[in-house]
Structure formats: structure tokens, C-alpha cells
Structure 1
């Protein structure tokens, strides 16, 4: 192979990564032109927009993309990665690691919980507004097709959620090329209009945006609630960093995505300036009539891809929440033998599907849904900004004045966008807020309930040191085999062991007390997976460590003990688990609503056997009643 051949291969590999980035990372940002300018111009439908107003809105959209996406996320926040992993919860784990006090960790945890809750609100609205806005192109083709918009949208949404169980590997390879075509098409459509009306490029000047705000302080503040729709999906740049690395994501944004969406926005503006009637749907009105049907099909594919990225993200966030003790255990299915990140969570899929369908049936148009969209996005942006500021101060040792100046300015922008969206709470903004607050309530309830159970269990348990000291005098019979006792605290004797001794009067020759620990990194190193300490003849304390992006597999983790000279036969292992039955205490520590919710989640949580991937035919469960 010649040197030139090698260079060509490297170029092709880089190009393939950039195309893949388009399909996974930029679906949401790339489909925002479908509804953003249309929604913003809708505020002028009674008085009619003026030339200065169109210039002002275009300027605000452009500089929002520059400040929020290019400067905040691409330049600064993407530097704050957690071993290559991004996202609000990953940032929360990184910030917690460098926190110096328990109070700081609690505040950081609150921001992480808020960000996760709002993400699920965003995850319900994104498929609804994206797919609906694409299929509304039928109305531009012919008003007679209007009755088919809602049924067609519901059919696409139903199909999207039904195929989730099969995984996205088969169709994922097509995501990148489709989105590459999408960005080329929307950029070309915008360029054609700009060539015909080049003066629209004057809106690149921030003066137009400032003038618009000063001349119309009230209407411009309201319009910011629509302008923020242009940056929806900005958090995906950071959240998907582990899949591709920061450089391909940055390159794709700067050299392809950003120019394409800006050309499209300004092309829509040019069209509206020349043909004001096109403001009812400037995106589809840019295309010649003969190309509108192909454009609707392409837009539908692009919005399905954007929705798929959000849905897959919801599965990942749910798994992280389970690992970090914020959610009850749920079924997690791996849909790929090669990619650990490709998972399917049936309960989350069902909840998202029901939520998306209800939103479409309730709001029935992308314009109406736009009112519900902004709060979840701006809330997530604000949480990311606060956590990143903390990381830059503690991890990167930035001076306080630098952190306050840079992230304070970003925070002002986020807060302004959030404030503008609070005006739309009555019109639909309450939807993501309600979803987010419900998720936050669920997470805090689960966390509080589990902490109470651990505290009560610790209070009633026998210290392991005391048990081991008495063991030689107890004349307990040791029988062949290996017993594995799962425990949340290695300093205390698992209740399952005490019950087993009480009823069976025997102890196995080899005993493992196993504690599964979730690290604040995405993935644990294989060589640090299992750590064992012998505390008595044949008795070991074992810690299995997993990253928050991994699914625990206890049998496989115990196999790695052989590297430490601890031999055991998987076929001779018996797993003893305590099956907790939570009952109300005489003086409950949780109020009625939280107690009912916690008991409901506990009863419906996936068993430890399934969650830790333990063979069910080797499990012995012993009941334990715990009052909280």
C-alpha cells in the first residue's frame, strides 16, 4: 500500500465519522428550521411583520446559535468531559468528584436531578413537534390534505416506538447519509433565496437584533421563547461526545451543520421579505411545488432520526439514573452484541410513546406545541451551565472572576430564554414543567426511600467483625460449594446469611460477600472490576465496580477473581438474596404520597436477580421485612 493510499483511507475514515455525527448528534438542531422562524413570525400575525422585525428575529437566531451552541457548548462545555463521556448526569458525577463538601455535593445532585427530569420532558415533546412539523408540509402541498396530517403523524410515531425493541443497529447506518442529504438540501434551498435577496445577510449584524429588542421590548421578549427553538438539541453535542469524541462533533458543526442551518434560516427570511404570505410555513414554501412532496418525505425521515436520538438518549439517562440510585430497577435489554450503548428499556419506551401520542392529539399542530417546547430545553441549558461553571472552578482551577464572567454571561442568556418561556406556561409550557417536576419527585422519593431502608438495615444488622469473631466457636458446619451473598454494606452481615444459618444451620466452604459499586466514571477499567479481601478462611469481601454507563453482570464479574488466585466454579455457586418487603413504620419517615409512591415502585421494580444478570436457577431468596 502506498503512502497516498494510506492517506485516502484515513480521509475516508474521518469522513465516515463526520457523516455518522450528522445522524446521531445533529438531528434535533438540524430539524429546528422546520418550525422556529414560522413560530417566531406567528407573533406578528395580527399586526403583520415589518422588514425590521424579520431582520431582528434573524439576527437573534443567528447570535443565539453563536453564543449558546458555538461558544458555550462547542468551545467551553465540551472540554468538561467525564473520561470522554458527556451529558448532564455525567457532568454531575464529574462535579461531585471535585466537590469539597457534602453541601456542595447535595446542590450538585439537585442540579443533576433537575437536568435529568427536564430531559425526559424534552424527550416527550421532541418527537411530537418534529414529526408533526414535517408532515404539516402536506398542508402546503394542498389544503385538502390537512385532515391527513394528524393520522399520518400518529402512524409514524407508532411505528417509531414499535421498532425500538429490535434495536437501531440495522437502520442506524442510514442515519448519517440521510442527515447529510438533509443538511445539503436545506442549505441549498436557503442559498437560492439569499441569492435572489442578498440584502437579508445584513441581519448577521448584531445591531439588528439589539435594535429589535429596544424598539419592541415586549414583543421581542415574547419572541425569544420562539428564538430559543433554534438551539434545541445543543445539549446533544455534549451528551453524545463519548460516541465520536469532541473533534468530529466540533468539525461537523463549524464546517457543515452551522452553515447549512444559517443559510436555511436566512433563506426563509428572504422569502418572507419578498413574499409575506409565505410566513405561514416559510420552510416548505421555499421549495418549488414539484419538490415539496420529496421534501416532506425527507423532512419526515430527518425528524424520525432526530426523535430516535432523543429516545435512545432517554434509555441511556434512565440506565444512568438506575445505576446512580435515582430510579428503581427496570428491565434493560441489550439490542446489539457489539455495542454496549445500544439498549432498550420497555417501561421508558411505553411511557414516552403514550406521552408523545397524547401531545399530538391534544395540541394538534407544531405551532401549538412550540409553546410547550422551550421550558424543558432552557432548563437543561441552565443546569449544564451551572455544573460546568463548578467544574471549571474546581477541576480546571480557573480564577473566580473568569468563571463568573464567562459562565455568568451564559447564565444570563439561559435565564433570559427561560424567563421568556415562562410566559407560555398557560399555553402549554406547563407540560414539560409538569413532566420534569414529576420525574424529579419520583427520583427524590426513590432516593429518600432507599436511604431510609439502608439506614434501617444498618441499624438492625450485625457487624461483620463481630460475626467473624464468633464464627470459630459456633461450630457451624461448612458444606461444599460457594455461597454468594449480595450486600449493600460490606461491614455488616447480610440478613440473607443470618436467615440461612438460622434455618439450614450450615455455611459454605467458600463465601463471597459481594457489593456492587457504581463509579463516577462512564466505564470501569477491566483490571479494576473486582477487588477481593479475605477476612476469614474461605470468606471474602468482594467489591465489583461498574461505571454509570455499564450494566452490572455479577457472575461475569466474579469470574475475574481467578486473576487474583481465588478459584471458584460457576456451576457450584449459589446466590443468596434478601427479598425486601417494605412496610409502613409505626411512625413513618415519609409522608403518605411519597410512601405510597415508594412502595409502588418497590413492588414493580425489576428483581435483583434480573438486574444483576444472575442465573435464576442458582438463586435462593429469603424474605426480609423492613419498616420505614
Structure 2
């Protein structure tokens, strides 16, 4: 039975957090400095501007990552879970469906989750390309092979997802710890060569850069934000590691290494302006390029793996919250929590990443597409922060407004700056986000219309059973379990079974699955049972959106209520609905056709709930929307 996992030792979790949580932000030094001075052509290559840019990065890491996410957002959990959808679910426990804020918060949460998918496509593409591009720094003759090599690495990475990451996952932490130590060491070497870069710690240089070059600084923010990508990931992964290991990993390993490396690259540019072509790979000279390519490739593979796993996790949450159709979810490890593989998401994401690599062709071009989805998600998180501070933490109104407004202004500046990139590639992750947003909102609306239709034609179960047993049908040996929606009334499968077979089983259970807007439901609260008379019973199973809805295993818990089930004598009756579009009601025609197509390709409910295939009887029904 899926339930909240036990936490391992703090040291082990800290090491694991370094590998999984910080892969994205930890590989940002590969391309951030080059993107700032390469893509923002109006930034004069002067000592003052170098100090100003490095100061902006350092204080952005302090304010946005350290304060907002590590110190504040890691406290905003939904029973230990973080991320946009967990925040949305938490807000919905405060504002119920009849509240005016329920739907706007739903739209915000869904859009934030959709933007994550756009980011999850760009991250593997830009990370792998930026690492492999070190080869062309070593020798320009290898430039034509950069994209093919990157594609081979990415296809290989996505091809092994079905095997799981339980084995290589143990190496992620140590490898990334070595990576961060390497980043810090490279930074120290170049700081020693140009110690004046240490002045970048003074925020005055960041403020001076902004005030002296307001328009250029505004444009430069769209590239400076590359240093903060991955901040949302550390919050979303809180449920896997807990806040303390993530904080320890940040302050003990990641933050010092990143600050040292960014200052080191700034110092390198102060002493060697020719290193602007690729500051990261030129930190130690030509002899170090090939080793750095090897180490950075290992780091970006880990960063990409973390993003892919994140896409699987957020998809599982969306399915649990009723925002996505049922999909095949494979658990790749019997012991490691969160080790899941979703084939449809894996291959769709791989195709999108390949299109990004081929279409943009270089990490420099991809930086133009990067940032918009990230900053949009950051802004949405800040909006949710107000509701958490005011209604969950019960802080006074002034504090609940001032803190989110401060971070909101920062996020809004970053987002509007990145909006200038839309025509240069920013449309790509945005298009992915809008496509996923449309799918999720259409699926939710379609399910609502199906439910409304069923409620309209529902026969109350109590009344039906009362009339049924005036002239009882013939009872046969065994147990029948009829899956029944929350508002379905008498299941269509029962009506069809009586109509065609004229019999009723010796024991009849009506089973309703409830998925709550909370990550976990403890086993003690999993089941409610009610006796309906005539050996008929109502069972209600409750799951959190991160729980595994495994009906046979949950039935084993029913022993505490006096009900035992032998799978060999138990039959599960499932209504298989055929959705028909009604052009006069419901959604727009194209949305109805989209919903019908998704519904037909959704995973079979019996399969999704792990019911043995040889114990399932499906009976059809037509539903208009």
C-alpha cells in the first residue's frame, strides 16, 4: 500500500538531494555568463559591468533561491509535499468549490504545472548541448558533430528510463558533490588571479549597474535568470527528501560552489576578455577542456534525469487530482519511493526535446527560449504564497502582503524581461505549456460534463435496492463488486447485469473511489463501509493524489471491518462509457472532440486500479456531453 515513505538518515538524504534536486541549477554556470554578454549585445564589456552582472547573480541567488525558496517556500508544504499542484490543492482545502476563489486558484495551479512541462523540455536540451559544445571550444573541427552527439546522449537517456534509476541513482549524489567541488575549485583559481572580483559581493555594484543602465539591465535580467533555473525543482522535490536535507545541501555545497564559480568566471573575464567565447570551458586553459566536457556531460545527464523524473511525478499528481487521464504508470523499484516511469510522457517529452535541439541548434539559441516558463512558474508560486501566509500560517495581513509583494515584484520583473524573448524562441516552451493547459482544463471540464449527465439520469441506489428486493432476483454464489462514481446513483453495470443475466451475486459491494486534495491518506483513514441490507454494502476507498490506488491491496484492509475477499470468487463489474458529442450543449466542438479522443486513449480503469484482468466484467453505456 502506497503511503508516505519513511525518511532515511539525514546525511544520506542530503547527499541524494545534492544529486537530484540541484542538477538543474548546478549546471547553469555552463551557459549563463556567456548568454548574458553574448545575447545582450548592448552590455558593454567593461569591468564595472562585469562586477555588476556577477553581483546581480550573487544577490539573485541569495534573495530568490536562498530566502524565498530555501527558507520560506520549504515551509509551505501540503502534508510534506511541495510544488505548484500541491500548493493548489492546499489552497483548495481553504477555499471550497463554492468559493469565488476556487476556480481562479485552480487555473493558476494548472497553468503553473503546465509551464513546468515547457521547462522540462528546454532543460535537457540546453544542458546537454552546452556540455557537448565544449568540444568545439577544444577544436572547431568538431562543431558539426555537436548536435548529433547531443541527440545520441538524449535518445540514450530517454531509452533507459524504463529500467529505472534505482541503480545509477545512488551515484547521482557523489557525482554531483564532486561537480560542485569542481565548480568551487575552478572559481577559486580564477578569483586568485583577479581578486578584485570579490567586490561583487557588495550589492552596490548590482544597484549601480541597474541605475546606470536601466533599459540594458532590464534586458540583461532575461539572461541573469538562467542562474536561478531549478529553484522551483527544489521546492517540488520537498516530498522526496524533506526540507532539512534540501536546506543543508544548498548552504553546505551548492550555494558556495555556485557563488565561487560565477565570481571565478567574472574574474576570468576581467583578466582575459578573450575567454568570453565560452567562459566556463576556458577557466583552466586548453588542457582542461576535454576533462571538463566529460565531467559536465555527466552533470547534465543527471540534471536532465531529474527533470524527466519531475515530469513523471507531476503527471502522477495531475492524474490523482483529475487533471489528466489515467496513464500507464510503471514502478521501476520495489523499494525506492518515487521511482516511476510513464511511457507516454517519456516518449512525448523525448520528441519535443529532439525538436528543440534540432530546431535551435545551439545552447546559445536555446537560452533565448529559456526563462519564460521558469519565471512564470515562480510568479505563480509567489501568488500562492500570500494565501499560505494569510490562511495557513495565520500571519497578520501586513506581513502576508509585504513579503509576497516584494518577491512578486522581483518575479514580475524577471517574467516581463523574459517576455521580450517570445519572438526569439520563448514561444516554444510557452506553446508546450498552453497545449498542456488546454488538455488539463478540457479533461477536467469533460469529466464534469460526464458526471453531470450521469447525475441527471441517475437512479438513487437506496430506492433501487428497495424496489429490487420486493421480488428478489436469483442469487448466485460469489462476490460482485460494482465500481460506482461519487454521484452515480445505481451503477449502469448493475442495471445491465440484471437486464441480461437476471441474477445477483450472493454478496454485492458498491465501491466508490475518492481522491482527496491531499498527498497522503493514512491506512487508518482509507476505508469507510456501510451495510445496505440484503447482503449489499457500500465501500468508500480514500486516496491522496500521491497514493497508489491499488484496489486488491485495499480490499485486504477490509478484514478489520469483517469483510474478506477471495479473488477467485470475486467479480468486478465496470461500466465502460462511450462518450458522444452533443453540439448543442457542453464545450466547444473542438474541445469535445479532444476530450473524446483523450478518453478513448486513457488507460482502462480496471487496469489502472490494478484489478486482475480475469476478474473484470465490462458493460458499456453511452453518455452525451
TM-score greater than 0.5 by the shorter chain: yes
Match of 1:71 among 22, 42, 67: 67
Shift of 1:49: 1.0
SS of the residue corresponding to residue 551 of structure 1 reads coil
Distance 2:417 2:42 in 1: 20
Alpha-carbon contact 2:32-2:224 (below 8 Å) kept = yes
SS of the residue corresponding to residue 285 of structure 1 reads coil
- Whether 1:17 aligns to 2:13 is yes
Query: Which residue does the alignment assign to 1:8?
Result: none
Shift of 1:48: 4.5
Alpha-carbon contact 2:581-2:593 (below 8 Å) kept = no
Query: Which residue does the alignment assign to 1:331?
Result: 328
Match of 2:36 among 23, 34, 40: 40
SS of the residue corresponding to residue 54 of structure 1 reads helix
Match of 1:589 among 586, 596, 610: 586
Alpha-carbon contact 1:131-1:303 (below 8 Å) kept = yes
- Whether 1:111 aligns to 2:108 is yes
Query: Which residue does the alignment assign to 1:391?
Result: 388
Q: CA RMSD in A?
A: 1.4
Q: Report runs of 4+ in structure 1 exceeding 6 Å deviation.
A: none
Query: Which residue does the alignment assign to 2:236?
Result: 239
Query: Which residue does the alignment assign to 1:436?
Result: 433
- Whether 1:97 aligns to 2:93 is yes
Query: Which residue does the alignment assign to 2:450?
Result: 453
Alpha-carbon contact 2:25-2:229 (below 8 Å) kept = yes
Distance 2:487 2:352 in 1: 42
1:489 to 1:13, Cα distance in 2 relative to 1, 3 A? closer
Distance 2:337 2:62 in 1: 34
Shift of 1:46: 6.7
Alpha-carbon contact 2:134-2:289 (below 8 Å) kept = yes
What does residue range 311-390 of structure 1 map to in structure 2 within 5 Å?
A: 311-390=308-387
Match of 1:508 among 505, 508, 522: 505
SS of the residue corresponding to residue 573 of structure 2 reads strand
Deviations 1:189-210 (A, max 9, x none): 0111001111111111111111
Q: How many residues are matched?
A: 617
Of 335-344 and 150-159, more deviation after overlay is shown by: 335-344
Q: Which runs of 5+ in 1 are unaligned?
A: 1-11
SS of the residue corresponding to residue 625 of structure 1 reads strand
Distance 2:40 2:583 in 1: 61
Alpha-carbon contact 2:451-2:487 (below 8 Å) kept = no
Alpha-carbon contact 2:24-2:230 (below 8 Å) kept = yes
Query: Which residue does the alignment assign to 2:3?
Result: none
Distance 2:583 2:28 in 1: 54
Query: Which residue does the alignment assign to 1:147?
Result: 144
- Whether 1:619 aligns to 2:616 is yes
Shift of 1:472: 2.2
Deviations 1:278-303 (A, max 9, x none): 11110111023222211111100100
Distance 1:232 1:81 in 2: 21
Of 515-524 and 185-194, more deviation after overlay is shown by: 515-524
Shift of 1:256: 1.4
Q: Which runs of 5+ in 2 are unaligned?
A: 1-7
Query: Which residue does the alignment assign to 2:482?
Result: 485
SS of the residue corresponding to residue 448 of structure 2 reads helix
SS of the residue corresponding to residue 512 of structure 1 reads strand
Distance 2:189 2:80 in 1: 40
Query: Which residue does the alignment assign to 1:253?
Result: 250
Shift of 1:568: 2.7
Query: Which residue does the alignment assign to 1:205?
Result: 202
Distance 2:216 2:450 in 1: 52
Distance 2:323 2:519 in 1: 16
